[in-house]
Structure 1
Amino acid sequence: MGALRIRKQAMWSDLPEHVTERILECLPVDRFFRFRAVCKTWNVLFSSQHFNSIARNSQPFLILCPARTQLPSLIYSFFTRTWQNISLSFIPHDCPINFRGSASGLLLADINANVCFGFNSPTLCVCNPLTQVYSTLPKMISVSRIMAKAIVPARNKMDAYIVMVVGMSSTGTVVVEAYNSTTKAWKLAGSIPDVVIRNENVFFFKDSLIGVTSSGGIMAYNIEQGITRVMAMPTSDANNLWVRLVCCKSGVFVVGAIEDNHCLKGVIMWVLVSQKTVKEDYKWEEIGEMPSSLCEEFRRSSNSNWFECVGVGDKICFRANESMEILAYDVRRSSWNWLPKFPVGMRYMSMRCLPLEIMAGTKFI
């Protein structure tokens, strides 16, 4: 019996490294760090360059975060098509928390936020839901009133991140501040035209901070060049159209909801494409609509017309208010499908959908 046990142990230890890495790819999200704790060899393997290259190219997860962290969050794997509970209770939860963005396995959140049309000066926190650790960021140097915020991976440094904040300075100018996790300090990244950015629609795409302005345009601020550009939203024949900006692996999109008498009638999508043969180098191109049968089913899944949409990998995920289901549009395949329903009992009025990549290199806060 003892010889058999030794033989089994030897069988696992003799597995080729590429086979073990393949097993690691298939692990459920909540098993990743248990895998690391097995032995020193597996811990090193988890942080290997090969695994990080796999993680960068893999489909990210979708995480749903409630406003109260004592409630369980949910994480969805597109690989296994399953939901799992994940706890965020390690973050102080004596007040509501607003999750504002994600990057490389980290979540950006407001703590002690006094919500007032998106203008507030909360304590910013970055947390890792897998390692169950968080870090409170220091006070900013220039911004006295926050308009919008986003978290992005640091370039050429896998275990670092940058938090970008757009806000009003004490002198009345709109500035951009950047927090670098390597230096653990804020730095003034530039100033932008006096525009108001909607807090819920801010992300980083191809070296630019992109957001929707209160006047209905789209602002793109190039961090390195310090150049600001404001683009118009795509046009439609629909009279009652409200729009939402979405970013995913495939590009920048605008999702437009068509309403009639406060009833959701349709959803149109546009993608931002390059056209280098004309003076205007970008334009909006309509890529399709939500099928009417799906739109009706989507509308019935909620008690209101409000919904959120978020880019996850090559997909755009839609969740109606208080709905227990998510509808996903695959950009590359131009196809729609429903994700599995949430686990029984997981029905919250306020949950924020965010993409979540699983990358070993960003395990540090």
Structure 2
Amino acid sequence: MVALRICKQTMWSDLPEHLMERILECLPVDCFFRFRAVCKTWNTLFSSHHFNSIARNSQPFLILCPAKTQLHPLIYSFFTHTWRTSSLSFIPHDYPINFRGSASGLLLADINANVCFGFNSPTLCVCNPLTQMYSTLPKMVSVSRIMAKAILPAGNKMDEYTVMVVGMSSAGTVVVEAYNSTTKAWKVAGSIPDVVIRNENVFFFRGSLFGVTASGGIMAYNIEQGITRVMAMPTADTNNLWGRLACCKSGVFVVGAIEDNHCLKGVIMWELVSQKTAKEDYKWEEIGKMPSFVCEEFRKSSNSNWFECVGVGDKICFRANESMEILVYDVRKRSWNWLPKFPADMRYVSMRCLPLEIMTGTKFS
């Protein structure tokens, strides 16, 4: 037994660093932090530039976040095809939480403003459910009433992120504020036309913040240039169409649901593509429809015609109201498939994308 233990120790110590990195990258994400505690060498590998480069190219995760801290989020790995549980008990409060977005393995959330923080002043929080760490953001400079919010990577470093908030200022104008994790401060990033955008449909893609307006259009705010563009929703040959915005690695998409007598009859997807014309820079291009037999099965998974969708990597995930099943459309492969059912009763949750990239290195002060 002693000889076998010595042999194992020698085998691991003699392995080249790049082979150890390839072995460690195959671990399930919830095992990362237990293995990095084994020794200083392994901990250094998890923080290396090479390992985090590999992680950025790995399959992302889908997280189902409950609104109550006593419930456990569910995380689905597209690499291992399994569901795992995490915990929100590290957040020191018992108030309901609204999760508003994710980036770089972090979740952006706000605490219910009606409970203890004033109706128009929710407390924003950024947390990492895998490292069990969180950071409460300071009060904003100008925004007095939040319309929408999103979190996005701020640079190439592992511990950098930016939180973008669109809201109404005390002067009655619509402004954009940005929180930088490096400076730990808010600043006004610009102003936008007087439009109202829906809080649940805000994404960041290639330098622009995208959101759905209350009138049904698509707003794109270029953060660096401070330019706002409002585009019309794509249309189909029906009047009974409502659309949602989805953003994934491949691009920006509109998912349109066709209804008839409050019954889901079909789903159409469009992608925002650039075009070189004098009049328009972008256009909506139809990329596919949900097959009728898939739509029928999807409709049977719930007693409601309402559904939510979210982009994860190269995939768009669909979940019918209170359903225990998730349907996935692979944008690159143009294919449909179902994820395994949840291992627990988690009907009343919101879907949020949780990428693997930079999870191992994100720090909080």
Q: Indicate the residue corresponding to 2:302 in structure 1.
A: 302
Structure 2 stretches of 5 or more lacking a match? none
Distance 2:114 2:270 in 1: 34
Q: Distance between the aligned counterparts of 1:121 and 1:203, measured in 2? A: 22
Quote the residue 2:177 is aligned against.
177
Paired position in structure 2 for 1:232: 232
Q: Which residue of 2 aligns with 1:139?
A: 139
* Cross-structure match for 2:326: 326
Kindly provide the amino acid, as one letter, of the partner of residue 231 in structure 1: M
**AA partner of residue 10 (structure 1):** T
The residue type equivalent to 1:364 in the other structure is K
Aligned residues: 361
* Alpha-carbon contact 1:151-1:162 (below 8 Å) kept: yes
Per-residue CA deviation, residues 174-208 of structure 1 (Å, 9 max, x unaligned), is: 00000001011001101100000100010111111
1:210 aligns with 2:180: no
> Residue 245 of structure 1 aligns with which residue?
245
Give the structure 2 partner of residue 53 of structure 1.
53
Query: CA separation in 2, counterparts of 1:335 and 1:87?
Result: 32
Partner SS state of residue 27, structure 2: coil
- State the alpha-carbon separation in 1 of the partners of residues 345 and 210 from structure 2: 32
1:361 Cα deviation (Å)?
Answer: 6.0
Matched to 1:174, the amino acid is V
State how far apart, in whole Å, the 2-side matches of 1:131 and 1:262 are.
43
Measured in 1, the distance between the counterparts of 2:161 and 2:247 equals 18
- The 5 Å alignment of 1:249-260 reads 249-260=249-260
Cα-Cα RMSD: 1.5
1:156–1:25: structure 2 CA closer, same or farther, 3 Å change rule?
A: closer
Residue type of the partner of 1:151? Answer: I
1:342-357 equivalences under 5 Å are: 342-343=342-343, 345-357=344-356
**What secondary structure does 2:113 align onto?**
coil
Deviations 1:106-153 (A, max 9, x none): 0000112349xxx94310000001110111100001000000000000
- Residue 101 of structure 2 contacts residue 352 of structure 2 at CA under 8 Å; is this kept in 1? no
**Aligned residues with identical type, % of pairs:** 83
CA distance in 2, matches of 1:107, 1:355: 8
Amino acid at match of 1:136: T
Alignment of 1:332-343 (within 5 A): 332-343=332-343
Residue 279 (structure 1) shift: 2.7
Evaluate the alpha carbon distance shift between residue 113 and residue 304 of structure 1 in structure 2; reply closer, same or farther with a 3 A threshold: farther
Tell me if structure 2 keeps the 8 A contact 1:159–1:361.
Answer: no
- Which residues of 2 match residues 1-365 of structure 1 at below 5 A? 1-114=1-114, 120-343=120-343, 345-360=344-359, 362-365=361-364
How far does residue 29 in structure 1 lie from its aligned partner after superposition? 1.4
- Matching residue's letter, 1:49: H
Structure 2 Cα separation of the partners of residues 95 and 184 of structure 1: 25
Rounded to whole Å, the distance in 2 between the matches of 1:100 and 1:312 is 15
Whole-Å separation in 1 of the counterparts to 2:252 and 2:114: 30
List alignment gaps of at least 5 residues for structure 1. Answer: none
3-state SS of 1:340 partner: coil
CA contact (8 A) 1:47 1:360 kept: no
Q: Distance in 2 between matches of 1:290 and 1:75?
A: 25
Scaled by the length of structure 2, the TM-score of the pair is 0.96
Cα distance in 2 between the residues matched to 1:16 and 1:48: 14
- Normalising by structure 1, what TM-score? 0.96
Query: 3-state SS of the aligned residue for 1:239?
Result: coil
How far the C-alpha of 1:346 sits from its partner, in A, is 2.4
Q: Does the aligned pair in 1 maintain the 2:106–2:354 contact within 8 Å?
A: no
Higher alpha-carbon deviation: 312-321 or 85-94: 85-94
Cα distance between partner residues in 1 of 2:112 and 2:330: 36
Taking the aligned partners of 2:220 and 2:40, their CA distance within structure 1 comes to 45
- Structure 2 counterpart of 1:276, which letter? K
Moved more, 16-25 or 32-41: 16-25
Whole-angstrom CA distance in 2 between matches of 1:307 and 1:80: 26
SS in structure 1 of the partner of residue 159 of structure 2: coil
The secondary structure found in structure 1 opposite 2:3 is: helix
Q: CA deviation at 1:327?
A: 0.4
Q: Which amino acid aligns with 1:279?
A: K
Larger displacement relative to structure 2 (135-144 or 278-287) = 278-287
